[in-house]
Amino acid sequence: MENKESREIEFCLDVSRIGKAALLLSMSSDEEENEIKRKIIEKTNYRIGVTRVAGFASEIRRKFAPAILGAALNCNVINKTTSEVHALLHASLEALNSIIQSESLDSSLSLKVSVVCDNKWICVGIFGDSAFYPITNHEKSSLGIMHIK
């Protein structure tokens, strides 16, 4: 029988920079997510939303912005104002273009996306898997940030 050792580590992370919070949330497992959200909210005034987007790169290009906008509005991360929606779309596209820019083939992607906002900035963090063929699966990560006003 194989001995499975825990690979968990504990650490403290300063989340005073909104991008760190966004990346940490996007990289968290489903089990870790609620505790991380709770701890970030205790220490900051950030508004947080997390969602998942999956499919082929060509599909994700079409559905990413509406999916992130819907998640941000549903989680009350942003208000439905021109400046906040505009900033979210810019941050979302910056993060997405970093993930998909070099996808010459229509790879399959499974992405966890976080949206973190304070009164000045909005960040979109992405972490997930990309593969054209199952044995070529690998992780990818990116961050987009935009000022709101």
Chain length of the chain: 149
Q: Which residue would you say has higher pLDDT here, 20 or 137?
A: 20
The predicted pLDDT at position 122 comes to 97
pLDDT of residue 92: 97
User: What is residue 104's predicted lDDT score, i.e. its pLDDT?
Assistant: 63
pLDDT at 130 > cutoff 70? yes
pLDDT, one tens digit per residue, over 28-74 is 998 899 999 999 999 999 999 999 999 999 899 999 999 999 999 99
pLDDT exceeds cutoff 70 at 3:
no
**Cβ neighbours around 72 below 10 Å, total:** 29
CA angle 38, 53, 10 (to 5 degrees): 35
pLDDT band at 148 (very low <50, low <70, confident <90, very high): very high
Mean pLDDT of the 121-125 span: 98
Per domain, the residue ranges of the chain are 18-147
Q: What percent of the chain has pLDDT over 70?
A: 95
- Per-residue pLDDT tens digits for 73-120: 999 999 999 999 999 999 999 999 999 876 567 889 999 999 999 989
Average pLDDT, the chain: 91
> What average pLDDT score do residues 111-130 get?
96
Q: What is the pTM of this model?
A: 0.90
- Domain 18-147 sits in CATH at 3.40.1510.10
